[in-house]
Chain A
Amino acid sequence: MKNIYKIQLIGVGGQGTIKASTVIGEAAMKKGLNVVMSEVHGMAQRGGTVVTEFKIGDADSPLIEEGAADLMIAFEPSEALRAINKVNKNSFVIVNNSPIVPFTVSLGISEYPELSSVFEELKTKINHLIIIDAQKIAKEAGNIISENMVLLGAAIATPGFPISKELIIQSMKENLPPKSIETNLKAFEMGFKEVKM
């Protein structure tokens, strides 16, 4: 079997999921690794579920087999459950703890589950579950918009992540706007420190 590292990201439009993915992907390329990634564009500019999946290593398709993700970063708690079919009990799963309640809930067309039951279910299924208050940390770093970098920082601190912190930081500098890079780097470092393993 070949050595392939599989990452699933899931969030809600506007949370910077694709940006975080691009940072990882370009860093992998810089390391000389092959990387294939799948993004979602179109219909939902904002508000819909946004998924990116990628495989780093000797793979052709960017889509991850069910149960095969090594790492999942969920930018929103209920979204972690939406992609639960992609992980297994040994996957590392990083979950942002602040919910984004869609308008369908306010209109009574759908329900948002109790947060405690969301985390309960994740805990029973996943051995390496890391719940992060990315909103609070991003706020401390200077801007709530940097949530994605908090989660990215936490992700790369997990064991087995195939790219060094230095390369990720370099990729951040090349992909994020210069005027917000300081805040983003701070958010990233704070996220990194959240994971103690």
Chain B
Amino acid sequence: MVNKKVLIIEDEESVLKVLSTKFTHEGFTVFEARDGEEGLELALKEKPDLIMLDVVMPRMDGLTMLKKLREDVWGKKVPVMILTNLSDDKNIAEAMIGGVYDFLVKSSWDIEDVIKRAKERLNLS
């Protein structure tokens, strides 16, 4: 049991389910959100130890959500990992300014890698 809370914000149902299942299996407590608005609300309420954030989403996109999150005293410091398959430089630059810990391109990573990086970030490995 790692006893850590992770919030996954992702509109793609299958990716969300895969991540959620895997993190749960690894002993995390998982919260799920399907757009930026829902994600922000849940983040501020549950104060997770780590946030996995998709970029392209309906209602509120990931980068807008991130900007709002960083305005919060608690949200300023929470580690955020960006999940996306858009690999254009502008998004990366924006995410860096937002103080994101890690940047991932979805199609190129393996699920084990995500778990590994998440654990590293939380000093669990």
A and B held together in a complex: no
Identify the B interface with A (CB < 8 A): none
Identify the A interface with B (CB < 8 A): none
